[in-house]
Structure 1
Amino acid sequence: ITHCISHAMSDSVYRPCSCFCLNTGDSCCNPLSMGSIKKMIEEAVPGIDVLSLMIGKTVIQDTENGFFMDVNEQVSMVCSQLAQDPKLKDGYNAMGFSQGGQFLRAVAQRCPSPPMKTLISVGGQQQGVYGLPRCPGESSHICDWIRKELNSGAYTDIVQKHLVQAQYWHDPLNDDLYKKHSLFLADINQERVVNETYKKNLQLLDKFVMVKFLQDSVVDPVDTEWFGFLKTGQAKETETLQESVLYKEDRLGLAAMEADGKLDFLATEGDHLQFTDEWFNAKLVPYLH
């Protein structure tokens, strides 16, 4: 099994000393971000092949697309890249960081060939977000603009089509609006209709691993990293995956997967994407063997 990590579809990570922290944007090839994770995996698992996906023709495009490219198009591009790689024909393990975790789940649901064996979502917002408490990175003008667009019209066609964060904006106070106009998240989470193919394909995974950061100040609500979310109709109380309609009706097959031992919920101290090499090697690398 070869391994694949999502990066341009993810938020960014950079590596000071021995821990990982969030920064603005990301690219497949930055030696301080996804490049360092690629190197860490290669050192931990000798002989492993690691494919770091690029969304766009240049590193700059790769970074910008993480903010402004239609997520459905990104997923299609990734599916095409995976299908064309002969090393992946017998299957691969996938690791996505932040929004890359949910985007790779869309790959699993929509593109079963080549087969994804294990999906590791590191701080992924599986039920979306409702808030942008600390937009990551140095580009405050971008963060301010994103906040403004989300607050004023997250579900307008133009914002949905061109702002990545809007495509997983989940407003519990406007549930009908969300279900009707969400171009990406409402689709992959079976909010409108149950796509039996999505459900079947996700259940083909051997493991679906979700990592939650207990002091996360970026993702709101943090329970989304374990597929929980705010209860519909208000914005204070949360519910777990197991308490949700999604689980109780088993719209994605997650209840069946948990019964089969296919869901692993991991937690670690620290803010968004902050973890040590030691934790990564002890907790996540074993899934890649």
Structure 2
Amino acid sequence: MRPILVTLLALGICQCSPVANKPTPLVMWHGMGDYGTSYFSMGHIKRLVKKNVPDIYVKSVVVGANFMEDIVHGFIGNVNNQVEQICQEIAADPELQDGYHAVGFSQGAQFLRAVAERCPTPAMKNLISIGGQHQGVFGLPNCDPGNLICEEIRRILDLEAYAEWVQDEIVQAQYWHDPLHEEVHRNKSRFIALINNDQTLMEEQRENLKKLENFVMVKFLNDTMVVPNESSWFGFYRPGQDVEVLPLRETDLYIEDRLGLKEMDEAGKLVFLGVLGNHLDFTDDWFVQEIVEKYIKDSV
């Protein structure tokens, strides 16, 4: 005799409750000097998200085979190759096939934006940038004097940020943006100028970014790490000098709509959040209330 449940199903009289849909999963990419499996940083954020969104699947990006390689790749390596690695991992992850939200911290924010532009399948839904540098940086302050890697990178950037080998191997050089030499930047930047469509308008990148439901950008109002800190909202120095900073809506990037940001802005897809404090200085309560509840937790 068949099991009772099967019999009832066959007769169409079982009033069984369907399995609830799982929450939209989350992909996170850490910042410089951090690593994806850190218990105290990314691990803390993961636990915070899961506490407030039970059963959510969270993928924390790791570049390389282990945590030490992940840390080193935050300073040394080809960002385009790193983005391609993560694109492949996302595409192969069965938990992400119906789409996902993404949170990038510091340089991880522009790296995830590259994922959104270049790898539209599966779909990134909301992109949350926490202290990102979307127009690049012109300076690498706050290097701990005891951090020899950081100090050496700052020295190299001061001397030859746009040398081919530096653009291929030094991560921070790949989002370096020298406003005093804009033409050099457009022609020789191997990453940030590409994802900002500064060299050639890549319509596919533009269209892919516009598919986001929300692009949330968090700027730390007292940020001394991101120079200028308006880069977190796509602002940057007026070309030819490094004093006056143009807000996003006054930049050529926006006026010419090379990334579709103007169109997204008019559609209400751009969200600008300001937080008092220095780089990545936010509380758990703020993160839960302003990020998790609004852009990670699925609406009922």
Aligned equivalent of 1:128? 136
Q: What SS is found at the alignment partner of 1:31? A: coil
Aligned equivalent of 2:66? 58
Aligned equivalent of 1:223? 230
Q: Aligned equivalents of 1:49 and 1:138: distance in 2?
A: 38
Question: Quick check: 2:107–2:132 contact (8 Å CA) kept in 1?
Answer: yes
Match among 57, 77, 88 for residue 96 of structure 2: 88
Query: 1:170 offset after TM fit, Å?
Result: 0.1
Query: 1:245 offset after TM fit, Å?
Result: 0.5
Matched to 1:151, the amino acid is D
1:113 paired to 2:136 = no
1:284 paired to 2:291 = yes
Matched to 2:265, the amino acid is E
1:41 paired to 2:49 = yes
Query: 1:125 offset after TM fit, Å?
Result: 0.1
Q: What SS is found at the alignment partner of 1:173? A: helix
Match among 194, 204, 213 for residue 206 of structure 1: 213
Aligned equivalent of 2:78? 70
1:259 paired to 2:282 = no
Aligned equivalent of 1:182? 189
Aligned equivalent of 1:152? 159
Matched to 1:183, the amino acid is R
Q: What SS is found at the alignment partner of 1:284? A: helix
Aligned equivalent of 2:18? none
Q: Aligned equivalents of 1:171 and 1:280: distance in 2?
A: 32
> Bigger relative contact order, structure 1 or 2, given CA contacts below 8 A and separation 6+?
1
Matched to 2:264, the amino acid is M
Q: Aligned equivalents of 1:156 and 1:204: distance in 2?
A: 34
Deviations 1:56-108 (A, max 9, x none): 00110011001001000010000000000011111000000000000100000
Matched to 1:256, the amino acid is E
Matched to 2:115, the amino acid is V
Distance 1:234 1:138, change over 3 A: closer
Q: Which runs of 5+ in 1 are unaligned?
A: 12-24
Match among 89, 94, 108 for residue 100 of structure 1: 108
Question: Quick check: 2:145–2:151 contact (8 Å CA) kept in 1?
Answer: no
Q: Aligned equivalents of 1:2 and 1:152: distance in 2?
A: 42
Match among 164, 169, 176 for residue 162 of structure 1: 169
Matched to 2:178, the amino acid is D
TM-score by length of structure 1 reads: 0.93
Off by >6 Å, runs of 4+ in structure 1: none
Q: Which runs of 5+ in 2 are unaligned?
A: 1-23
Deviations 1:196-216 (A, max 9, x none): 000000000000000000111
Match among 238, 248, 262 for residue 241 of structure 1: 248
Q: Aligned equivalents of 1:185 and 1:100: distance in 2?
A: 13
Matched to 1:93, the amino acid is H
Q: What SS is found at the alignment partner of 1:96? A: strand
Q: Aligned equivalents of 1:53 and 1:98: distance in 2?
A: 14
Q: What SS is found at the alignment partner of 1:273? A: coil
Q: Aligned equivalents of 1:254 and 1:217: distance in 2?
A: 26
Which structure's CA Rg is the greater one?
A: 2
Q: Aligned equivalents of 2:237 and 2:146: distance in 1?
A: 29
Deviations 1:209-268 (A, max 9, x none): 000001111110000000100110000000011000110010000000011110000011
Deviations 1:117-142 (A, max 9, x none): 0000000000000011212x574322
